[in-house]
Amino acid sequence: MTDLKNKFASVVLSMGLVCLSTLAVAKCGDVFELSNTPTRLVDVAKLNMPTTPNKPNMNMTIYELKPRNTLPKHIGALDLNMACDFDTKMTKSLQGFLSPEGIEGIKKKLGVIKDGGLTVGYLFRAWYSNPTQRYKHGALGDTIEAQTLNVEAPVFENSKSSTGARTKTQKVAQYTVSENEVFEDLNPRLFWPPITPGLEGLVRGMRTRPKIAAIISNLSKGASVAIFELKSSGRNGKAPLQPLHEDGDGKPGIYGFVETPKLVKIAQTPFIGMSHRWLNIIGVGDFDGDGTNEIAIVVTPHIGGRLEIWELRDGKLVKEAEMDGFTNHINGSVVQDMSAIGDYNADGVADLAVPDDSRKSIHLLSFLGGELKEIKTLPLPARITTNIVPLTISKNFKEMSGPPGLMMGLENNTLVVLRP
């Protein structure tokens, strides 16, 4: 069975940590307190939170917040998006890739768009820059949108160091939209092909260049999903990434380009067809179990949202399924991750967790075999108002106790943990 953490390399939350967290055991009825500032997910994992329902036959735990505290719009918030490329250990190793000046300092230095995030995966970073106000929509809180997508990639020069390794540098490839378009998005999504288990699959995955999913809006036609890829400028533009050391021994190592790559748009969905019509990406993963990634989106999440699943096939994005009645965004909010991906029916394939268009229930959906089916509906006591944080619930930090949980905040100022 394919390791799901590997298959979820594609998921990037707008301002959250994509790695799975763990809940500690505690007595039922504990109160979960939040300060007035967003709580880091890594801190949430250390809190004593019950792993059993408050009431019999209920798969829900509700944490009432004290009056002096207010629930932030984005819980478990981190300014850095840490993509779980291949496994948790590798993601943790990315901490060393960060500058000591802090995430906000890095973003300022890179020119990251207002409210935008910095997406990190393996040795790659992606962000939006070059602000413009030519599109007066404001789906993400204001009319400041980006014109340029940036992807930083490892490049190994031919010159060698004293250790015999190539010299590694980081180079930035850019793509700027036309004058009648903008990136109506805050966080680019880096993703890799699904990775097969074992060392061989890991090495093969690390040598594969990532793709990037972004939202492009046309001033008169609305939004669309675009897929980008880093390509070498040489004749073999799709060659595998090369190892830092030339004596490739078949073990995981550091891989990169041998020349500065170009950022190329390789596919795009049709625009919605009307100005000021937007869509929001749920994530990327192998949802049907065929070994190929699909991308899940919600079209017009503010006005009768439609969930759609697309697959990149022969250089084109092909729609494979759709279902009405969903949302994963509140109009005017910078929170784009009001949905999640996890294996909610324990079949080894990625599933979707998406609110209905009333935001009063969470629908768990399977696309196994290419058929969109509902696994379960989880009613909520009030409308969801925050992002959804995926949580792995364990009994003792070692033994898994079921499918991944979902943590979210509601409009009645409570924090809810659901266990499918």
Q: Which residue has the higher pLDDT, 22 or 67?
A: 67
- pLDDT attached to residue 252: 53
- pLDDT attached to residue 413: 77
List, in order, residues 6 or more apart from 173 with CB less than 8 Å away: 150, 151, 152, 153, 230, 260, 261, 262, 263
- pLDDT attached to residue 239: 62
On the CB side of 297, how many CA atoms lie within 13 Å of its CA?
24
Q: What pLDDT, in 10s, does the model give residues 290-311?
A: 999 999 999 999 999 999 999 9
Query: CA–CA separation, 418 vs 59, rounded Å?
Result: 6
**Predicted confidence band at 202 (pLDDT cuts at 50, 70, 90)?**
low
Determine the residue type at 222: G
Strands (E), 300-384: 305-313, 316-326, 340-342, 351-355, 361-366, 373-379
Q: How far is CA 206 from the centre of its chain?
A: 19
Strand arrangement, sheet containing 414-418: 21-23, 389-393, 405-409, 414-418, 60-64
- pLDDT attached to residue 38: 31
Nearest partner of 142 among 10, 334, 279, judged by Cα:
334
Q: What pLDDT, in 10s, does the model give residues 308-360?
A: 999 999 999 999 999 999 999 999 999 999 999 999 998 989 999 999 999 99
Phi/psi class of residue 190: alpha, beta or left (left: φ > 0; alpha: ψ in -120 to 50)?
beta
- pLDDT attached to residue 408: 85
DSSP track, 13-66 = -SSB--S-EEEBP--TT------SSPPPHHHHTTSB--SS-SSTT--EEEEEPP
Rounded to 5 degrees, what are φ and ψ at 34? -120, 140
Q: Which residue has the higher pLDDT, 366 or 164?
A: 366
**Predicted confidence band at 63 (pLDDT cuts at 50, 70, 90)?**
low
- pLDDT attached to residue 66: 45
pTM: 0.78
**Predicted confidence band at 242 (pLDDT cuts at 50, 70, 90)?**
confident
SS3 label, residue 379: strand
Beta bridge partners, 217, equal 182, 223
Please give the biggest Cα pair distance in the chain.
66
Cβ-contact 46, 9 below 8 angstroms: no
- pLDDT attached to residue 284: 94
Does the structure show a pLDDT above 70 at 101?
no
Highest-confidence segment of 88-92, 128-132, 252-256, 344-348: 128-132
Cβ-contact 322, 308 below 8 angstroms: yes
Q: What pLDDT, in 10s, does the model give residues 211-230?
A: 999 999 999 999 999 999 99
